[in-house]
């Protein structure tokens, strides 16, 4: 019986370790997304009206496509890359 409890204790510690790792990674992801969103908002505040909305939409599109180069270009110029 004692060996079963020891095995259960070990398994529980492993599960807690994995949960802690997942929770830490999740928090790091949320912090990174907040930083990216703040950068997009700053870039959008440099513009007014329709260009402001266009920057936000283009940035969201670049993030969805996982295109970091395009994201930097949009923040820098305020428009999407022409292909």
Q: Hey, CA dihedral for 57, 61, 63, 47, is it positive or negative? A: negative
Tell whether 82 is covered by a domain.
Answer: no
pTM of the model: 0.72
Grade residue 82 by pLDDT with cuts at 50, 70 and 90.
Answer: confident
pLDDT at position 83, please?
65
Tell whether 83 is covered by a domain.
Answer: no
Distance separating alpha carbons of residues 12 and 18, to the nearest angstrom:
10
Residue 47's domain comprises 2-77
Structural domains in the chain (count): 1
What are 21-67's pLDDT values in tens digits? 999 999 999 999 999 999 999 999 999 999 999 999 999 999 999 99
pLDDT at position 70, please?
94
């Amino acid at each position: 019986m004692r060996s079963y409890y020891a095995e259960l204790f070990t398994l529980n510690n492993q599960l807690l370790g994995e949960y802690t790792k997942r929770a830490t990674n999740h928090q790091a992801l949320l912090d990174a997304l907040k930083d990216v969103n703040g950068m997009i908002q700053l870039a959008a505040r440099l513009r007014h009206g329709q260009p402001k909305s266009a920057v936000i939409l283009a940035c969201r599109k670049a993030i969805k496509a996982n295109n970091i180069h395009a994201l930097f270009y949009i923040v820098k110029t305020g428009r999407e890359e022409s292909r």
